[in-house]
Structure 1
């Protein structure tokens, strides 16, 4: 199902907007974790919002989560947004991200590799002091 089709099944109010996106790294696996209620948080590098002059996510916003084929998996509503340095990410946030054993140690291992590769694309290097945009969300439709 395409994003617009899923959105129209969920919401009949044309004044309410939504975004569409997929997770980096492994979009199919991560979207599945969201749909199963295991993954309830994510983060992204703040520097990309600056470089792309993109607004930060906000509480109350809706997103249709896509898989690697741009098919809609579910709709989420953002419940919390905050900025945190990579080195200050909490055990709680790592757990909510839902990957692997859901420990901070594993979160750091996965995300250092991910951010290192992502930052290379804009000729930047990974740094543990880098700011992250952290989001928490809930599934509202699937």
Structure 2
């Protein structure tokens, strides 16, 4: 299902204005695997590089509580709709064990989270010719699934 179709179905069901803003995106290097963790209720958080939201030509709004996102798979098919419930900005080396656990990846430990995300963010920053380090600001975002089109399950 295309993102626009899913959004229309959700808005009709929940009586939400179709013009309510939303974003549509997939999770990093493993969109199918991570979307599956979301659908299983294991992944309830994500992280992104705060400063990259403000790169010239890349300006996009920071996620805020109440925002909607349509999660896409590797084929750009809509999987579900999430709603942001909480955001915090912290240096990379201060991301909490709780946040790492909520991201649901690997063994859910902070050590695993740091190893995987250091590699991911290093590549992301290399593409922008900027430097990533332990003080790089990370936007930690928590969310809940509000519409799952894969099982017609809705919260």
Question: What band does the TM-score fall into relative to the shorter chain?
Answer: over 0.9
8 Å contact 2:7–2:18 — kept in the other structure?
no
Deviating beyond 4 angstroms after TM superposition, the runs of 4 or more aligned structure 1 residues are: none
State the match for 2:52 in structure 1.
48
Counterpart position of 1:11:
11
TM-score where L is the length of structure 1 = 0.96
Question: Matches of 1:14 and 1:66 in 2, distance apart?
Answer: 19
Which region of structure 1 is more displaced relative to structure 2, 17-26 or 6-15? 6-15
Instruction: Please report how far the alpha carbon of residue 110 of structure 1 lies from its aligned counterpart in structure 2 after TM superposition.
Output: 0.4
RMSD: 1.0
Cα deviation, 1:49-87, whole Å, max 9, x if unaligned, reads 110222211100111100111000110000001111100
Partner of 1:137: 143
State the partner residue of 1:59. Answer: 65
Structure 2 spans left out of the alignment, 5+ residues:
149-155
- Report what 2:113 is aligned to: 107
The total of aligned residue pairs comes to: 142
Q: 1:116 aligns with which of 101, 117, 122?
A: 122
2:44 and 2:103 in contact (8 A); partners too: yes
Whole-angstrom CA distance in 1 between matches of 2:140 and 2:97: 13
Alpha-carbon distance between aligned partners in 2 of 1:18 and 1:46, rounded to the nearest angstrom? 19
Gaps of 5+ in 1: none
Task: Tell me how far 1:126 sits from its aligned partner.
Answer: 2.0
Out of 17-26 and 100-109, give the one that drifted further. Answer: 17-26
Partner of 1:27: 31
Partner deviation per Cα, 1:14-71 (whole Å, 9 max, x = no partner): 2422111111121111111111111000011112111022221110011110011100
